[in-house]
Amino acid sequence: MVADIPSPSWVPASCTLPSAEVPLRLAEFDQFFAASVLRWARPEPTVLELVLPQTAEAAGRDLAGRESDCCSFFGFSFEQPAAERVLMRISVPVERVEILDAVEEQVRAAHSAYGGGS
Displacement of CA 17 from its chain's centroid (Å): 15
Extract long-range pairs of 73-77: CB within 8 Å, 24+ residues apart.
73/12, 73/14
pLDDT in tens, the chain (118 residues): 233 333 444 555 556 565 677 778 788 888 999 999 999 999 999 999 999 999 999 999 999 998 888 888 899 999 998 889 999 999 999 999 998 998 999 999 987 876 554 4
Tell me how far apart the alpha carbons of residues 83 and 20 are, in angstroms, rounded to a whole number. 39
Does residue 50 contact residue 37 with C-beta atoms inside 8 Å? yes
Tell me how far apart the alpha carbons of residues 16 and 8 are, in angstroms, rounded to a whole number. 15
